[in-house]
A and B are shown apart, each in its own frame.
Chain A
Amino acid sequence: MISLLFWLVVIPFCIGLLPAHFITDKKAAGPGLVLLSGFFVMWALFEAAALPAVIFVRYANFRAASVGFAAGSILCAMAGVLLAIRRRRAPVRADGGIFAPVRAMSWAERSEWLLFFGLLGFQLYKAAAYASFDGDDAYYVVESLIAQQADVMYRILPYTGRPTDLDVRHALAVFPMWIAYIADRSGIHATIVSHLIMPLVLIPLSYLVYYEIGRLLFCRRADENGGSFSGEDLPIFMIIMALFQMFGNVSIYTNETFFLTRTWQGKAVAGSLVIPALFWIFLQIYGGREREGRTGAGVWIVFVCVNMTAGICSSIAVFLISILTAVAALALAVVQRDLKVLLKMGAACIPNVVYMAIYVVMAYSYLW
């Protein structure tokens, strides 16, 4: 339990202090942003540690990736803490304590938040107490378990247990290996971590992204109402988002269905966490609150890490978010009449280009 808290709360939060250091807007750099940023930087670190191990190390490659990731994470976490101490700027809002926004709310607002947390709690209860069958688990969850039990990444066919060559499409999407890492550190069976622990982490984390988006969308009204970030539209936005997730099962293909039925799979994380996070980044950079340039450096770091996170989720996700970024950059460049937007957002996508280049080289290596 302590290991879980350490790797799923303490380490991401401390790592998040690193990009938060480069965001000067105190209101923007709240604990939610710090934690979210920390997760994205941590996943980017995992990609950087795991991909070379998957590609170049044949035996005990999971151990190699784990050592590299642990060292990188702890170093970044320490750097984040040191920077926070040096600046003596606690990310947690101090004015009036953390309950000040709650005290400033009307009873109606409080009841709306209560309703939202009721919906969230219900989703978490369902995720923990109910099993959701999905055939793809025979691949992804077993890959995590193989890494935990046999110390091997992507060299054993999960369906049967026989040795196999690297399957490029899956081998570059190392999200199951991150789950294996958490399982290994905590000493909990990887299947329990996937099916039970991950939803309890990833569902709230997705809502944290929606919350941050809501803050950016409705902050103006909130500011007019006394400076609290819990604007009166925000709880309603969150309730609608929660209901949409619960009733979005109009087909087996929607990201809402993936979100609540395959929460632990990389593609679900891509649909419900990474893609919304891009909207959050777009709003941070171009939504009005965060000024471009020096003050936004932290957000750009997170932008790059969100792109890298897509790579650990699924190889198609890299392609998808590149399309989204290209389309959004084009639209923003047109409305701002500024071609630099295209260049900046294109530069943030360099990890995607590198990832796709690795993919192509590995997939077509038989040609040379």
Chain B
Amino acid sequence: MWGIFLESVVIFQNYMGFHENGYLAGIYLFALLYLWLAEKDRRRRAIFVYAPTLLLFLFFCPLFRKVFVRLLEDSETYYRLLWLLQMSMVSAYGLLKLCGRHRRIGLAVICAAIIACGDYVYDSEHITKAENAYHLPQEVIDIVDMIEPETGRITVLVPADLIYFVRQYSTNIELPYGREMLIARWDYHHAMYEAMEKAEVIEADTFTELAREYPCAYIVLKEDRQIDEPLTEHGYDLYGQVGGYLIYRDTQTE
């Protein structure tokens, strides 16, 4: 039970970003504490003080965590229990109550505290200028436009960095394997993926043999991907190039 409790503490710390000097949780806990002392309306006290405190207690309760994980068969999403705290709402309410009549000075102090303790979401490395209305890399769209059949579906082998996006643009393109191969902890094995991504130098013989099992009508490779023999010597022709990607068409697949 002590071990489960410590796990919950780690989840809490990771959620609140303590390891990256995020201290918004400090603002929240301060506001909650203040509401404990200052909120006189018993109904609001129930909603903004007792309920969040009970939820925090449940979150750290090892028995509750055991039941939660057993019922949902998923321990990775336990952190979502903390969504119920609604940190922003409780903090905003508590801090505004604290400010009383000093609203404007209070607003300035609260804003400064949030900016100092928080982390600006738009600084995330995952947020980039959109290249098109789809919010997908333009290279993906250009590649799919080049190879997508007018009718029916085809299977295409693409590098790992395109896997997330290809089928978001067109479901007429099927893949031999998908995103499941890119999540290490899911621990999937796929021979085609091993041949395409794991091998330092692609062995063209076994690689093309595997690709034709699906069969892959096209193979997209990064320009600098090492391969022991050119695919053009294995029944493929260089169909086109988009940015740093070479597109090969299997001339033996109809």
A160 to B115 CA separation, bound complex (whole angstroms) = 42
Indicate if the CB atoms of B88 and A239 lie closer than 8 Å.
no
- Interface status of A159 (Cβ within 8 A of chain B): yes
Contacting residues of chain B (94-119) with chain A, CB-CB under 8 angstroms: 95-96, 103-104, 106-107, 110-111, 114-115, 117-119
Q: CB of B55 within 8 A of chain A?
A: yes
Residue contact A246 to B87, C-beta cutoff 8 Å: no
The answer to whether A279 and B178 touch across the interface, beta carbons within 8 angstroms, is no
With an 8 A cutoff between CB atoms, is B45 at the interface? yes
| Alpha-carbon gap, A137 to B130, bound state (A) | 16
Q: Give the chain B neighbours of A267 by CB distance below 8 A.
A: 80
Which residues of chain A come closer than 8 Å to B81, judged between CB atoms?
A: 320, 323
A297 at the interface (CB under 8 A from B): no
Known contacts A247-B115, A253-B15, A287-B44; is A240 also within 8 Å of B168 by CB? no
* Interface bracket on A: 35 or more
- Of A130, A160, A251, A331, which is within 8 A of B17 by CB? A251
Contact pick for A130, options B44, B122, B170, B173, CB 8 Å: B122
Cβ-defined partner of B110 (8 Å) among A240, A261, A334: A240
Residues of B within 8 A of A94 (CB): none
Residue among A146, A233, A276 with the highest chain B CB neighbour number at 10 A: A233
Pair B104/A108 contact, Cβ less than 8 Å: yes
Contact A159 B175 (CB under 8 A): yes
Contact of B131 among A131, A150, A192 (CB under 8 A): A131
Report the number of A-B residue pairs with Cβ-Cβ less than 8 Å.
262
**B133 to A: closest C-beta gap in Å:** 5
Choose among B74, B130, B135, B169 the residue with the greatest number of A CB atoms under 10 Å from its CB: B135
Query: Are B179's CB and A210's CB within 8 A?
Result: no
The answer to whether the Cβ of A185 comes within 8 Å of any Cβ in the partner chain is: no
In A208-229, the 8 Å CB interface with B consists of 210, 213, 217
Cα distance, A194 to B14, chains bound together (Å): 29
User: Contacts of A287 on B, CB cut-off 8 Å?
Assistant: 43-44, 47
Residue pair A248, B88 in contact (C-beta under 8 Å) = yes
B212, CB-defined interface residue at 8 Å:
no
What chain A residues lie within 8 Å of B208 (beta carbons)?
A: none
B232 sits at the interface (CB 8 A): no
Q: Across the interface, do B93 and A149 meet the contact criterion of CB distance under 8 Å?
A: no
Q: Digit string of A128-140 for contact with B (CB within 8 Å is 1, else 0)?
A: 1111111101110
A contact residues around B72 at 8 Å (CB): 316, 319
Does A29 have its Cβ within 8 Å of any Cβ on chain B? no
Residue among B25, B120, B133, B172 making CB contact with A196, cutoff 8 Å: B133
B54 and A138 contact, CB distance less than 8 A? no
CB-CB nearest in chain B for A129: B130
In the assembled complex, 22 residue pairs joining A and B whose CB atoms fall closer than 8 Å, in A order, are: A132-B127, A142-B167, A191-B135, A191-B136, A196-B135, A210-B89, A217-B93, A233-B96, A240-B91, A240-B92, A241-B88, A244-B88, A246-B118, A249-B118, A250-B25, A255-B86, A279-B86, A288-B43, A316-B72, A320-B81, A330-B54, A332-B47
Known contacts A217-B93, A336-B42; 14 further A-B pairs (Cβ under 8 A): A129-B130, A130-B128, A131-B129, A132-B126, A138-B179, A156-B171, A157-B178, A161-B173, A241-B92, A246-B122, A251-B16, A286-B46, A287-B43, A330-B54
